[in-house]
Every structure is written in C-alpha cells, then in structure tokens.
Amino acid sequence: MNHYPHPLIAREGWPFLGIAVLAAVTATVFLGGWSWPFWVVALFVLQFFRDPPRTIPQQANAVLSPADGRIVVVEKAEDPYANREALKISVFMNVFNVHSNRSPVDGSIEKVDYFPGKFVNADLDKASIENERNAVVVTTDSGTVVTFVQVAGLIARRILCYVGKGDRLARGQRYGFIRFGSRVDVYLPLTARPKVAVGDKVSATETILAEL
C-alpha cells in the first residue's frame, strides 16, 4: 500500500500552489496593485487542495462518506463492478469542496478497475457510466462487499488512486484524490439502511452515509 504524509495542504496541490504563488509574487513586482487577480487565483488553489484531519466515527456497521459534497443519488441500482443489484449513494463535489477521497469502510481490496471515458458534468446520472472513473471493490471483515467509484467531472481531468488489489483499507484512510470537481459513487448491499437523503451536505469520513 502506498502511504504518504498528509499535511493540511494535500501533496497533490503543492506544484499548483507553488506556481500560483510564484505568479502572484511576480505580478506584484511588475504590476503592483493590479496583481490582485493573481492572489485570488492563489487563494483558490490553496482552498481547493486543503486536506484537514477528520474525526472517524467508531460505529462498527457505519459506512462513511468517501468525500465532501452534496448527496445527488440515493437509489437502487446495478453495481457493474461487483455484478449485483445494490443501494447506490452518490456524493457530488464542487470546486469548493475538499477533494481528498477517504475509505468508507474497513476491509480488503478485491479489485481496482480504471475506465477511461468522457468528462460530462459529474452532477448528471450518466456520469457514473460514461465518465472516466476508478472503482475500488472492498470486502469488509464481516464479508460485506462495498464498492466506491471515483468519477471525473466536467472540469476534473485527473483521478488519482494510491491503492491496489490485496491492500488493506481502514475507514477514513485517504486513498485517492480527484482534481477540480467530480463525484464518488458508493454501492452497498440492498439491506443497507441509508442515513442521508438527496440534497444533504456531507463531510468525508465524519458523515455516516448508511448502516450495514
């Protein structure tokens, strides 16, 4: 498993933040007061790549949100990655949400599948099957299968996943990142009890999506 340190600013953002700050400083030197748009961009980059610590609920049967954002789907659907009917819960992330993705459960990874695709608005249902995406299928310690899928969006052009088949995940563990707006789909057994509804705002790790 590929572990790496997570300061308050995700490592994925360091190059972008460095470029933005350098551009802002240079603009200040040459443009003076007219450099403020460059500083606005630098502040946007800073907030986008923030990666704050989170408190992990200890409820044994809880499925945690893998991302910050807004619930856009809670419905019965086909899980194409585990070949089953499932309860699907989708979290949409806009550009102002934290984009570090975290494991919703404890368990062992059965497979990781990457699919190239389109970049339609991640708020649309068809994004789940048409957009670039990366699926992680996990078996929990109790034998329950949970699938979570990083889905690229209209602006998001890079899905990063740091785990692979056979790796062990702990709930709340950071396992990936999606740059600039996207969604994460979670597929659960039909017996799972959803604890969120469409329109709810959720926080990665701290919000319980469902109970198994």
Q: Per the residue annotation, which of 65, 90, 128, 182 is the catalytic one?
A: 182
- Decide if 109 contacts 163 (C-beta within 8 A): yes
DSSP, residue by residue, 65-113:
-SSSEEEEEEEEEEETTTTEEEEEEEEEE-TTS--EEE-SS-EEEEEEE
Q: Within 13 Å, how many C-alpha atoms sit on residue 95's CB side?
A: 11
- Contact between residue 150 and residue 163 where contact means Cβ atoms under 8 Å apart: no
3-state secondary structure of 62: strand
Residue 108 appears among annotated catalytic residues? no
**CA 79/CA 67 separation, integer angstroms:** 19
- Say how many C-beta atoms besides its own lie within 10 A of residue 75's C-beta: 12
Q: How many CA atoms lie within 13 A of 178 on its CB side?
A: 33
DSSP state of 31: H
Positions annotated as catalytic residues are 182
